[in-house]
Amino acid sequence: MNLRRNYETRKRQIPRPLEPLNGEREEKVYPPVEEGKLRLIPLGGLGEIGKNMMVIEYGDDILVVDSGIMFPKQEMLGVDFVIPNTKYLEDNKHRIQAIIITHGHEDHIGAIPYILSRIGDPPLYATKLTKGLIETKMKEFNTKRPNISIIKPGDKIKLGPFEVEPFRVNHSIPDGVGFAIHTPLGLLVHSGDFKFDHTPVDKEVTDFGKLAGYAQEGVLVLFSDSTNVEIPGYTMSEKTVGETVDRIFERAKGRVIISSFASLINRVQQSIDSAVKYRRRVMISGRSMENNVETSTRLGYLRIPQGVLVDSKEAKNIRDEELVVICTGSQGEAYSALVRMASGDHREVVIKPGDTIVVSASPIPGNETAISATINNLFRLGADVIYGRQVDIHVSGHAAQEELKTMLDIVKPKYFIPVHGEDRHLILHCRLAQEIGLSPSNTLALENGIVVEFDKEGNYQILKERVPAGYVLIDGLGVGDVGNIVLRDRQAMSRDGIFVIICTVDNKTGKLITSPDLISRGFIYMRAHEELVHKTRAEVRRLMSKYNNTHRADYNEIKMRLRDDIGQYLYRHTQRRPMVIPVIIEV
Amino acid sequence: MNLRRNYETRKRQIPRPLEPLNGEREEKVYPPVEEGKLRLIPLGGLGEIGKNMMVIEYGDDILVVDSGIMFPKQEMLGVDFVIPNTKYLEDNKHRIQAIIITHGHEDHIGAIPYILSRIGDPPLYATKLTKGLIETKMKEFNTKRPNISIIKPGDKIKLGPFEVEPFRVNHSIPDGVGFAIHTPLGLLVHSGDFKFDHTPVDKEVTDFGKLAGYAQEGVLVLFSDSTNVEIPGYTMSEKTVGETVDRIFERAKGRVIISSFASLINRVQQSIDSAVKYRRRVMISGRSMENNVETSTRLGYLRIPQGVLVDSKEAKNIRDEELVVICTGSQGEAYSALVRMASGDHREVVIKPGDTIVVSASPIPGNETAISATINNLFRLGADVIYGRQVDIHVSGHAAQEELKTMLDIVKPKYFIPVHGEDRHLILHCRLAQEIGLSPSNTLALENGIVVEFDKEGNYQILKERVPAGYVLIDGLGVGDVGNIVLRDRQAMSRDGIFVIICTVDNKTGKLITSPDLISRGFIYMRAHEELVHKTRAEVRRLMSKYNNTHRADYNEIKMRLRDDIGQYLYRHTQRRPMVIPVIIEV
């Protein structure tokens, strides 16, 4: 067997982190405040999907757009969430005028509970539904009630040197806006997340008129959503999903179970509309779905006729062909409603032949295998599962190439900064802008932490100094304390486990006084490898007496050598590289 | 902060294993050999993609079709490969007549080196290229040269009570076959991996005539490839890729770098044909690509004109616009050529603006994030990357729905057993067969290890006894010794790390004689949490004196309580659940 090859293949599961983790990019010197200069500093939303956050500075004043969360990447083992590094805002909290929020999705509001008090509790501005969703989220955290002002399209909000006007955009959640931000040096337009849906479920279309108006004023910079820049053509209307759902209801003989993102309020609305049409009652399952339905209904963004909603008790008395369950779990999330149903762990819903299950979402990269496992389980239980690209059960909420070009063409910005995308999305989006006629030097694919500074003449430079940016990992109660060392240890242990060697030595002679204790976890099952354990113990004894002759009592040196030598010994015998942890106890 | 919620979300990354791992399904009693009965026993290829292996038994004689490997699932931390559980074949090795191989892909030949000697070195039968690929693979392993007989379509091979006739099928590797297997109870047809490509690069089309002939004889069971059963319509011809590659060569101003699977010999052929047409020289990079190109060229399956291939030294002297690099790495595999280029670690190829890079493959589920990271890196280096679904740079080698129906319709089997697919694929493929007219009871979506027994009348029953089946994990030198315990430990450590508590006690009094030693890896970085470490040490002291008062010297009991109590203590303070490992040393 070829040793080298196997060892190389083994590491396949843990891709190297693309970006330095929390802490590594902590620049010490910030660029000093400059009077009369406009600065744009992305703190999130670039280089990776999620956790949007854009800092806009004029002189002494700071305006922040969005404050999102992202779900951990595969290699961030055990991490719950990732938020932007807000060190810069923490150090400059007295300068923050406000955070303005485009819409209520996690990747735009999710970090608020974690950062708000650390950056001095600045006022928030959000539309009505977005405010409701932020407040619902904050309730889970036992922090003080945030100060959120309701804004609506057309308002003009004076925030220090900035005047902010929200304008309507259509997206997969109601009440989304983009922002026109007037600054002393020119007008900035931030698209938020948007698409051009001419037949949206909530009747709110992206406001072409406003956008054209901004163009007439002259737009210095356009920030635009890059999520779907790889997709040619136009994104389909949300309405197409409604038609598919209708057809599914028409045919289904038993229960219909629809899983989607809790935040796709319009999708929930369409499912409820179909339920009403086909005389079915609706049960909601999954905490975030229940929360969002409650908030959206209370605020008037979800219309549910009296008597349609039933709780799980009432649902038990309703015949299969008269029931719909709307639930979470479309991403195969552990403990979500659909995943519990699929594994037979759901208290109220037991899947059976005759059930029609609709997975109304496309996979977020990294979730593919979990979703696939869920669908397999549902099939195995005899259900009919409708999923994937073959039927129109999901459309994106983001603009595709032709819509992105339309946005660029209407707004006609002098400069273009793509946001909300990985590196390839940002670069492709810049190329799209160049096709529209912008010169390459006027399209900027940035990295988080870069400072772009504009002067009165509308020229920009990229400053040499960067501000701290990158990931801050949240695990349990700790914000940011999972750094490179902890994560690397988790990665190493996940590959080949650990091997602890405990040597108890006499504090005078340095000689072993008991047999070395060995502990293996995730490396080999010791009972099945008694011979190796036995031999390794003998090797430890041999090494200890050898070191002691040459090194005396420098225990750190001995531990280092023990780690290397036993590590190699174990690799020779197993071709695995457990993390070897030597401990020397003096008594 | 809501405790429960965070804890639940944390586990998201590690999906629960779908199937019991190695060992759990070890049935003790095998069904006894039955004279005059035909048995079909899948040992792999069902319920998950990969590691195909089908056992066909008549009375005392066993015939095996394929012996594949699969790559580890996400939750199989640190595992190199997965092979089928061959316990049944090991226990019955004297009964094995032969292993017959359909084609040279890893998921059909990859397990041979691991299992061959353990199942008594039975003879192998394979076509010429497949034999060459198996031999190349075996050379890496230092095992004895396998006994492989070359077969070709139309041959009739007598193997005990079986007569096997290979028939030509088209797939994404040349020299693929299916098998018609005559048994005393009827004819079995195994499709292998196939598509109906009417304009294949290697000119070898699936043999409709033979298939129709078998139908006339009457087919008892058809086994057919389920990989693409979710895809409507027909799979495109490999030729479409050639046309796209041609267009890319026509436009490229600098180097062209094409990455694909090493086994897609026809794709390599097309890339070389385009290179010749546009007067470029070809450098091959990546070990498996080099091996496969060498084997295929030597055996006449790859035609490369003299002087076209260059090595890395010669390539240095060739101008960019006259060079093509064909390499591995289309799945974002660590250490593959393209991934090394993307991260700047490739010794010979340094990516630069002007390079055109083609990723000619679709992602294997689970590889999406690694591929995405690779593409981002390449963009960041200024290259132009062609990837994804927008251009025809990849077609599948597997039949889509209409082709699968065609196969069923030509062969007209009495019974249908779908192979090579996850549960949902098998169930969907059975439904397709039912659309063609088979009754549901004649379509069998099986699980690995199930024994289907046919009698002389052509009726079947599914035996109560199952044979051992499921995963056998290979990690380093160990085959199958990574089981549930080791894997669960790795999973636990990968989430929240470990916390080792070492208590050195007096062997007479049971009292601590030194301060407890604490070790944390992947849980908290101890230097950053001195207060918690300090408090935890005090808590250990407190607990030890408390236990000692009540429990005396039952150290196992004390360790268990220490694990639970300190585990809870740490959870309260951090909301993380490290694996707590208490050690008590008596001196």
DSSP string computed for A186-253:
EEEEE--S-B--SS-TTS----HHHHHHHHHH-EEEEEEE-TTTTS-S-PPPTHHHHHHHHHHHHH-S
The CA distance from B53 to B83, in Å, is 10
Give contacts of A424 with chain B, Cβ < 8 Å.
Answer: 372, 375-376, 379, 385
Q: pLDDT tens digits, residue range A452-510?
A: 999 999 999 999 989 988 888 888 777 767 778 888 899 999 999 999 999 999 888 88
A286: left (phi over 0), alpha (psi -120 to 50) or beta: left
| Interchain contact, B15 vs A370, CB within 8 Å | yes
When scoring A489, A507, A515, A563 by the number of chain B Cβ atoms within 10 A, the one with the most, hence best to mutate, is A489
pLDDT digits (tens, 9 = 90+) for A104-124: 999 999 999 989 989 999 999
Asked if A487's CB is within 8 angstroms of B15's CB, the reply is no
Upper half-sphere CA count for residue B123 (Cβ side, 13 Å): 10
Best residue of A136, A585, A587 to probe chain B, by most B CBs closer than 10 Å = A585
**What is the rounded distance in angstroms from the CA atom of residue B44 to the CA atom of residue B108?**
10
Residue B165 lies in a domain: yes
Q: Which chain B residues are closer than 8 Å to A489 by Cβ?
A: 497, 521-522
The reported pLDDT for the residue numbered B29 is 62
Q: In this structure, are B139 and B218 located in the same domain?
A: yes
Q: What secondary structure does DSSP assign to A303-372, as a single string? A: ---TT-EE-HHHHTTS-GGGEEEEES-TT--TTSHHHHHHTT--SS----TT-EEEE-S-PPTT-HHHHH
- The verdict on a CB contact (< 8 Å) between A489 and B497 is yes
Cβ-defined contact of B525 to A486 (cutoff 8 Å): yes
User: Which of B105, B346, B398, B429 is the catalytic position?
Assistant: B398
Are B472 and B505 within one domain? Answer: no
Residues B100 and B220 in one domain: yes
User: In this predicted model, which residue has the larger pLDDT, B389 or B500?
Assistant: B500
B215 CA: distance to closest CA in chain A (Å): 31
Q: Is the pLDDT of residue B287 over 50?
A: yes
Strand ranges, E, within B271-380: 281-285, 309-310, 323-327, 356-359
Whole-angstrom CA distances from A405 to A52, A167, A207, A290, B387 are 22, 19, 16, 37, 21
Residue B351 and residue B304 share a domain = yes
pLDDT above 90: residue A392? no
Q: What distance in Å separates residue B69's CA from the closest CA in chain A?
A: 14
Q: For residue A497, what is the nearest residue in chain B, using CA coordinates?
A: B490
A51: left (phi over 0), alpha (psi -120 to 50) or beta: left
The answer to whether residues B219 and B348 belong to one domain is no
Residue A521 is nearest to which of B523, B528, B579, comparing CB atoms?
B579
Q: Supply φ then ψ for residue A163, to 5 degrees.
A: -120, 120
Q: Is A267 contained in some domain?
A: yes
Query: Which chain A residues touch B7 with a CB distance below 8 Å?
Result: 476
Q: Measured between beta carbons, which residues in chain B are less than 8 angstroms from residue A80?
A: 6, 9-10
Pick the more confident residue, A341 or B574.
A341
b/e sequence B141-168, b meaning 16+ C-beta within 10 Å: eeeeebebeebebeeebebbbbebbbbb
Beta carbons within 8 Å of A189's beta carbon, 6+ residues apart:
A178, A179, A180, A181, A211, A214, A219, A221, A222, A223, A411, A413
**Model confidence at A8: pLDDT above 50:** no
Per-residue DSSP letter, B195: B
Higher model confidence: residue B277 or residue B20?
B277
Long-range contacts of B490-493 (CB under 8 A, 24+ apart): B490/A493, B490/A494, B490/A495, B490/A497, B490/A522, B490/B77, B490/B78, B491/A494, B491/B14, B491/B75, B491/B77, B492/B577, B492/B579, B493/A490, B493/A493, B493/A494, B493/A497, B493/A498, B493/A521, B493/A522, B493/B522, B493/B579
pLDDT of residue B497: 94
Residues of B in Cβ contact (< 8 Å) with A332:
15
Contacts of B232 in chain A (CB under 8 A): 390
CA distance A245 to A260: 12
Domain count, chain B: 3
Buried b (16+ CB within 10 A) or exposed e, B39-77: bbbbbbbbbbbbbbbbbbbbbebbbbbbbbbbbbbbbbb
Statement: residue B61 has pLDDT above 60? yes
Partners of B44 in the beta sheet? B53
Q: What is the pLDDT of residue B49?
A: 66
Residue-level pLDDT at A25: 43
Distance CA B40, CA B333 (A): 36
| Of residues B373, B428, B517, nearest to A15 (C-beta) | B373
B177-183 β-sheet, strand order = B157-159, B162-168, B177-183, B186-190, B219-225, B413-419
Residue B353 lies in a domain: yes
- Both A381 and A401 in a single domain? no
Domain assignment of residue A312, given as a range: 239-386
DSSP state of A485: H
A78 lies in the same domain as A214 = yes
Residues of chain B neighbouring A570 (CB-CB closer than 8 A): none
| Angstroms from B459 CA to nearest CA on chain A | 24
Contact assignment for B380 to A523 by CB distance below 8 Å: no
pLDDT of residue A552: 61
**Phi, then psi, of B568 in degrees rounded to 5:** -70, -40
Of A221-225, A568-572, B85-89, B200-204, which range is least confident? Answer: B200-204
Q: Are A124 and A151 in contact (CB under 8 A)?
A: no
Question: B256 near B327, Cβ under 8 Å?
Answer: no
Phi, psi of B187 (to 5 degrees): -95, 130
Q: Which residue has the tokens 């479920």?
A: A201
Please indicate whether, in this complex, the C-beta atoms of B476 and A586 are within 8 angstroms of each other: no
**Do the chains contact at B574 and A478, CB–CB below 8 Å?**
yes
Interface contact flag, A574 B476, Cβ < 8 Å: yes
Q: Is B16 helix (H, G, I), strand (E, B) or coil?
A: coil
Q: Is the pLDDT of residue B77 over 90?
A: no
Whether residue B562 sits in one domain with residue B460? no
Going by pLDDT thresholds of 50, 70 and 90, the confidence category of residue A28 is: low
Q: Which of A477, A485, A521 sits opposite B525 (nearest CB)?
A: A485
What is the distance between the alpha carbons of residues B490 and B482, in angstroms, rounded to a whole number?
10
Closest alpha carbon to A375 in B426, B36, B484: B426
Are B424 and A7 in contact (CB < 8 Å)? no
Under a CB-based contact definition with an 8 Å cutoff, are residues B223 and B404 in contact?
Answer: no
Contact A177, A103 (CB under 8 A): yes
At which of B449, B479, B509 does a domain end? B479
| pLDDT value at B387 more than 90 | yes
The per-residue pLDDT for B22 is 41
CATH number of the CATH domain containing A495? 3.10.20.580
Distance CA A231, CA A246 (A): 27
Domain boundary among A359, A386, A413: A386
Q: Is residue A29 part of a domain?
A: no
Active-site entry in B225, B273, B355, B565: B225
**The pLDDT of residue B551:** 55
Q: Are A494 and B377 an interchain contact pair (Cβ–Cβ within 8 Å)?
A: no
Q: Is B91 a catalytic residue?
A: no
Chain B CB contacts of A8 under 8 Å are: 334-335
Q: How far apart are CA A242 and CA A269, in angstroms?
A: 9
Record: contact B334-A2, CB cut-off 8 A: no
Answer yes or no: do A334 and B11 touch at CB < 8 A. yes
Q: What is the pLDDT of residues B84-95, one digit of tens each?
A: 999 999 999 999
| Contact in structure between B356 and B395 (CB atoms under 8 Å) | no
Residue A63: exposure state from Cβ atoms within 10 A (0-12, 13-18, ≥19): buried
Question: Looking at A384-388, B369-373, B458-462, B477-481, which range is the least confident one?
Answer: B477-481
Do the chains contact at B375 and A334, CB–CB below 8 Å? Answer: no
Nearest CA in chain A to B230: A390
| Closest CA in chain A for residue B571 | A476
- Shortest distance, CA B372 to any CA of chain A (angstroms): 9
**pLDDT confidence bin for B7, thresholds 50/70/90:** very low
CATH number of residue A167's parent domain: 3.60.15.10
- Cα three-residue angle A126-A130-A131, rounded to 5 degrees: 65
Q: What does pLDDT average to over chain A?
A: 89
Other residues' Cβ atoms within 10 Å of the Cβ of residue A564: 12
Q: Is residue B26 part of a domain?
A: no
- Enter the DSSP assignment of A457: T
**Residue B358 DSSP symbol:** E
| β-bridge mates for residue A136, sequence order | none
Identify the residue among B288, B389, B424, B513 best suited for mutation to test binding to A, counting A beta carbons within 10 A and taking the highest.
Answer: B424
Is the Cβ–Cβ distance between A166 and A179 less than 8 Å?
Answer: yes
Rg (chain B; Cα; Å): 28
Q: Would you say residue B22 lies in a domain?
A: no
Query: What helix, strand, coil percent values describe chain A, rounded to 5?
Result: 35, 25, 40
* Residue B300 in this model has a pLDDT that exceeds 80: yes
Is A71–B483 a contact, with Cβ atoms under 8 angstroms apart? no
Catalytic residue flag (residue A225): yes
**For A48-68, what is the mean pLDDT?**
92
- C-alpha dist (Å) from residue B443 to B418, B431, B432, B448: 8, 8, 10, 16
Q: Pick the residue of B14, B376, B389, B586 with the most A CBs within 10 A to test the interface with A by mutation.
A: B376
- In three-state secondary structure terms, A257 is strand
Q: Tell me the chain B residues in contact with residue A115 when contact means C-beta distances shorter than 8 Å.
A: none
B71 CB neighbours in chain A (<8 A) are 12
Percent of chain A with pLDDT over 90: 73
Residue B2 has pLDDT above 50, yes or no: no
Q: Which residues of A touch B573 (CB under 8 A)?
A: 477
Please give the average per-residue pLDDT across A405-421, as a whole number.
Answer: 97
Asked if B142's CB is within 8 angstroms of A13's CB, the reply is no
Q: Do B390 and A502 touch (CB under 8 A)?
A: no
Catalytic residue among A346, A398, A420, A429: A398
Residue B81 has pLDDT above 50, yes or no: yes
- For residue A530, tell me if it sits in a domain: yes
Active-site residue (options: A66, A225, A384, A475)? A225
Q: Do the Cβ atoms of B524 and A478 come within 8 Å?
A: yes
The domain that contains A356 carries what CATH number? 3.40.50.10710
pLDDT above 70 covers a percentage of chain B that reads 93
- Asked if A59 and A179 sit in the same domain, the reply is yes
Q: The complex's ipTM?
A: 0.85
Cβ contacts (< 8 Å) between A371 and chain B: which residues? Answer: none
pLDDT digits (tens, 9 = 90+) for A327-338: 999 999 988 999
Average pLDDT over residues A285-296: 94
B53 and B107 belong to one structural domain: yes
Q: How many CB pairs under 8 A join A and B?
A: 282
Quick one: pLDDT at residue A551? 55
- Facing A574 at nearest CB: one of B74, B477, B493: B477
Q: How sure is the predictor about B8, in pLDDT bands with cuts at 50, 70 and 90? A: very low
Q: Does B179 share its domain with B260?
A: no
pLDDT of residue A18: 27
pLDDT of residue A235 exceeding 50: yes
Distance separating alpha carbons of residues A447 and A462, to the nearest angstrom = 11
Query: What is the CA A426 to chain-centroid distance, rounded?
Result: 18
pLDDT for the residue numbered B364: 84
Please report whether residue B360 resides in a domain: yes
The DSSP symbol for B5 reads: H
Which long-range contacts link A349-354 to residues 24+ away (Cβ below 8 Å)? A349/A257, A349/A285, A349/A325, A351/A257, A351/A378, A351/A381, A351/A382, A351/A383, A352/A254, A352/A381, A352/A382, A352/A383, A353/A381, A353/A382, A353/A383, A354/A253, A354/A254, A354/A255, A354/A320, A354/A382, A354/A383
| Confidence label for A369 from pLDDT (cuts 50, 70 and 90) | confident
The whole-angstrom distance between B365's CA and the closest CA on chain A is 6
- Confidence bin at B27 (pLDDT 50/70/90): very low
Last residue of a domain, one of B364, B386, B408: B386
* φ and ψ at residue B9, rounded to 5 degrees: -65, -30
N- to C-terminal Cα distance for chain B?
45
Mean pLDDT, residues A85-105? 95
Do residues A208 and A193 lie in contact, with contact meaning Cβ atoms separated by under 8 Å?
no
B547/B553 Cα distance (integer angstroms):
9
* Distance separating alpha carbons of residues A373 and A358, to the nearest angstrom: 15
Same domain, A46 and A160: yes
Report pLDDT digits (tens) over A127-153.
Answer: 999 999 999 988 877 777 899 999 999
**Going by DSSP bridges, is the β-strand pair A256-259/A356-359 parallel, antiparallel, or unpaired?**
parallel
CB A484 within 8 A of CB A21: yes
CB B444 within 8 A of CB B415: yes
